[in-house]
Structure 1
């Protein structure tokens, strides 16, 4: 009888541990902090926001210590990162690196805003009331061109910076824009040939 109870307890414990382990792995992964790590570097490595890292790990500051285990929140999918990098490549080709990060940030801000769809793909392929796409590269097919390493890095940086900017939801080139509506939006910053607004 004792042996049966022991076997039952061991199998229950194994199932419980397996279920718990499965839930943790499905929702997130972990990172053991090494000497020289910062939340920014960890965020860049995994493509997650520093704010999300802090929140997920109940941290009120950016202080971390070697040996600490941090839970890494889920990030956007690899296909969404690639799509976003292709948009950045097409929209910000020839612009400063900071402008590329800002273009990616606009898309992420839209994903986080209740005014826009809630996925990267839906934001990028969103159509206006007149049927045109929100982003010119989708309309003209440039979205299908491969992204370079600078555009990919800009996406990773935008993901790491997510939630810390000025809330830009739009960008435009004031030299070529014909929309009076976009010119009426509050400008948050100007980088290269683009104005960013909300």
Structure 2
């Protein structure tokens, strides 16, 4: 019970930090920070962060002030995406969790899927956790971190639009898609 309370407290703190971070329009760089770590902390794509700061190089210095672009992904959408990641990739490596979140973000950008995270997640017959109710269970702190990393990484991956566990599906259409990467038990494809 003590672990559960600690986990809930940690998750609440993560979401509270995200909320306050999203409201901030600038950040003072601390020693050891990079555009990548700042993007993950604020949950914004690293390329948007660099664009907002009018730079193509990744050098920043402690004490420097960087502009934080407005985040287009709401806290509600992040929570939904984290719950999907938890349900779809529980027991998978952290990289697999990031990749599952990335698939959803790629689908939002694609012309063949709905253009919102909620629309993609609840798109009919796409994700088993929606049909079996697992989507309603809370996300772990790791799944929440994976979502932030996927957002920060967005636009820099291989464009995966699908993932599946070959031990759990015989869908030939899905298996015919070009494989982009295999992580844990999942195959990612486009």
Figure out how many residues of one structure are paired with residues of the other and give that number. Answer: 168
Return the alpha-carbon distance in structure 2 between the equivalents of residues 194 and 117 of structure 1: 23
In 1: Cα distance, 2:25 partner to 2:62 partner: 17
Q: Whose radius of gyration is greater, 1 or 2? A: 1
Determine if contact 1:27/1:73 at 8 Å carries over to the other structure: no
Q: Which residue of 2 aligns with 1:78?
A: 75
Q: Contact between 1:89 and 1:151, CA under 8 Å: does it hold in 2?
A: yes
Residue 12 of structure 2: aligned partner: none
Partners of 2:126 and 2:90 lie apart in 1 by 18
Q: Does 1:179 align with 2:175?
A: no
Pairwise CA distance, 1:176: 1.5
Aligned-pair CA distance for 1:165 = 0.7
Q: Runs of 4+ in structure 1 displaced over 6 angstroms?
A: none
- 1:171 match: secondary structure: strand
1:3-152 matches, cutoff 5 A: 29-75=25-71, 76-127=73-124, 133-152=125-144
How far residue 67 of structure 1 moved from its aligned partner, in angstroms, is: 3.0
Q: For residues 97-156 of structure 1, give each alpha carbon's deviation from its aligned partner in whole angstroms, at most 9, with x where no partner exists.
A: 1111110110011112222222111110112xxxxx311100111000001111111111
Q: Is the 8 A contact 1:86 1:147 kept in 2?
A: yes
- Structure 2 gap segments, 5+ residues each: 1-21
Q: In angstroms, what is the RMSD of aligned CA positions?
A: 1.6
Q: Distance in 1 between matches of 2:90 and 2:63?
A: 41
Q: For 2:67 and 2:172, how far apart are their aligned partners in 1?
A: 46
Structure 2 CA distance for partners of 1:88 and 1:179, relative to 1, 3 Å: same
Query: In structure 1, what is the Cα distance between the partners aligned to 2:56 and 2:107?
Result: 26
Q: TM-score, normalised by structure 2?
A: 0.84
CA–CA distance in structure 2, aligned partners of residues 41 and 186 of structure 1 = 31
